[in-house]
Structure 1
């Protein structure tokens, strides 16, 4: 097992690039990229960094030269032969050859496109613009780089023994969380923590701890590089990015209302089984389910990623019953801001009523709260979103208005079109 503290101490010798592989990314990005490559490959999209936690002034903490060095390193990466073989030949979700030959040829020849970086009032403005299948693959490495550079900035003056104690305490904390989860009958949980991890090495350690501590109750990891390295399942389906871009391309309100379902119609043609998971909250879960076509009720399950998770699950259960489906045969994946105590609570409330699963993110791979003076390693909410498509702004409403993105006038238009009334705002910590 890697001595993380020593490797962190040695970062000052620049031996560790933060992103060391093009597949050091989330599995859902590759699945979505294949769908985009097939259906909307010529769409021009702009992605932009958004720091929701304004109190964390990244441009004051992270050296611009180091950031550029790490971003430039990623631009030089390409798919290694072993990685290509793994993607082409491995079985994902019980399906051989998940990735089509034409998409694999595209991916094997890909180099990530240029970036634009500026400083503004203590924050970095980092944007990526180009053809959608290319620029979308910047999201995860860009986030991982900034999160780890922030961690390195906080740790740079710590000595070797101080770092050993820090990581021992963090390991103990995570192992205690795993012990809490160990008592849950029928638990199914996956690592969703790539985008806001403390570091690559720490995420890899956390995955190993989950494998040992939970056994077959640990379903796998969203991180492709770690899944390949540890010979476990790569986990993921789709995300808000797809409906956000499809909606931005809509020519009128009628097309806008159809956009979230057009996304899933394209997905339906390409995937089956556990890949048919509905993510309903982009423009409000209630309205999405109310107007959903009948064929969506037959999909495998729903992922709940914003708002009150209990309300979201109860809404899904009620919807399935109204559509003549048995909720006990449906999968509900909770993935918003989870920690061990919340996982225990939700599992006890819904186990047996639905098939319950959890995507555990930031507080699995980046919980160093209170372990250094000033709480400088506490996780914060950093995202990289598609903000425009073919020159038109994108919008996300969410079931939590604190997560909404887009110009104010477009947000109001989307709320009108999708019938989203007043929502209860909840704090966004991670």
Structure 2
């Protein structure tokens, strides 16, 4: 097992690039990329870094030259032969050849496009513009690079034994969480922590801890490289990016209202079973379900990713019952800022009522809260979102208004088109 503290001390990270591979990314990005490659290959989209935690001034903590070095390194990466063989031949979600030959031929030749980087008011403005299938693959590398460089800025000020103690405390903290979860019956947990992880080595260690500590309750990881190396399931479905871009590309209000369902029409042409998971909160969960066509009730489940998770799951249960579906056969994936207390409470409430599953993210792979002075390694909320498509701004109307985004005029238009009412703000940590 890697001695992370010694690795940090001896090499000051030079031996460890932050992003190690084209598949050091989340599985859902590749699934969505294939869908976009098929359905919207020529759409022009812009992604942008958004730091929701404004008090953390990244441009004052992270050296611009070092940031560019890591961004440029990612642009040099391409699929290795072994990675290509894994993607082409492995079974994902019970399906062989999940990735079509035409997509794989393109992906094997693809290199990430250029980026735009500027400093403004203590923050980095990092944007990616181009064809949607290419620029969308910047999201996860960009986030992991910024998150880890911020962590390295803190670690580089620490001495050898300080680092040993830090990682001893962090491993103990994680293992105590595992011990609380390991006895829970019929628990299903996946690692969703790539985008805001402490580091690749730490995420890999966390996965090894869950493999040993949780056994069959650990169902896999969103990180493709770790899934391949550790021989566990690659986990992930789809994200808000799809309906946000489809909506921005809509030519009128009628097309806009249909856009979230058009996304899922395209999705079901390629996927079935546990990949048919609805993400309903891009323009309000209640509003989405009220307008949803009946065929969507036959899908496998729903992912709850913002707002009150109890309210979201209860709304899904009521919706299924109203359409003659049995909720006990449906999968509900909770994935919004979870930690052990949340997982235990939600499992206790919904066990037996639905097939509950948990995507454990930042507070699995980056929980160094309280372990260094001034809480300097505390995780924060950093995202990389599609901000425009086809020359029009994107909009997100989350169940949590603190996660919403878009120009004020477009937000009002979207609220009118989707009949979105008032939502209750919830503090966002990650």
CA distance in 1, matches of 2:78, 2:321: 47
Structure 2 matches for 1:80-159, cutoff 5 A? 80-159=80-159
Q: Which residue of 1 aligns with 2:332?
A: 332
Unmatched segments (≥5 aa) in structure 2: none
Runs of 4+, deviation exceeding 2 Å = 10-13
TM-score, normalised via structure 2 length: 0.99
Q: Using the TM superposition, give the Cα deviation of residue 15 of structure 1 relative to its aligned residue in structure 2, in angstroms.
A: 1.5
TM-score, normalised via structure 1 length: 0.99
Structure 2 matches for 1:189-204, cutoff 5 A? 189-204=189-204
The number of residue pairs the alignment matches comes to: 430
Q: Does 1:288 align with 2:295?
A: no
Change (3 A) 1:335 1:243: same
Unmatched segments (≥5 aa) in structure 1: none
Q: Which residue of 1 aligns with 2:315?
A: 315
Q: Using the TM superposition, give the Cα deviation of residue 161 of structure 1 relative to its aligned residue in structure 2, in angstroms.
A: 1.2
Q: Which residue of 1 aligns with 2:389?
A: 389
Change (3 A) 1:298 1:206: same
Instruction: Determine if contact 2:144/2:197 at 8 Å carries over to the other structure.
Output: yes
Q: Which residue of 2 aligns with 1:248?
A: 248
CA distance in 2, matches of 1:11, 1:327: 52
3-state secondary structure, aligned to 1:265: helix
Residues 192-221 of structure 1, C-alpha deviations (whole Å, 9 max, x = no match): 000000000000000000000000110000
CA distance in 2, matches of 1:425, 1:11: 43
CA distance in 1, matches of 2:137, 2:7: 27
Residues 116-136 of structure 1, C-alpha deviations (whole Å, 9 max, x = no match): 000001000000000000000
CA distance in 2, matches of 1:15, 1:186: 40
Q: Identify the range of structure 1 (4-13 vs 91-100) with the bigger mean alpha-carbon deviation.
A: 4-13
Q: Using the TM superposition, give the Cα deviation of residue 13 of structure 1 relative to its aligned residue in structure 2, in angstroms.
A: 6.2
3-state secondary structure, aligned to 1:270: coil
CA distance in 2, matches of 1:244, 1:104: 25
Q: Which residue of 2 aligns with 1:260?
A: 260
Q: Does 1:68 align with 2:68?
A: yes
Q: Using the TM superposition, give the Cα deviation of residue 159 of structure 1 relative to its aligned residue in structure 2, in angstroms.
A: 1.3
Residues 267-313 of structure 1, C-alpha deviations (whole Å, 9 max, x = no match): 01010000000000000000100110111000000000000000000
CA distance in 1, matches of 2:385, 2:7: 31
CA distance in 1, matches of 2:153, 2:243: 36
CA distance in 1, matches of 2:13, 2:115: 26
Cα RMSD after superposing both structures: 0.6
Change (3 A) 1:13 1:132: closer
Q: Which residue of 2 aligns with 1:234?
A: 234
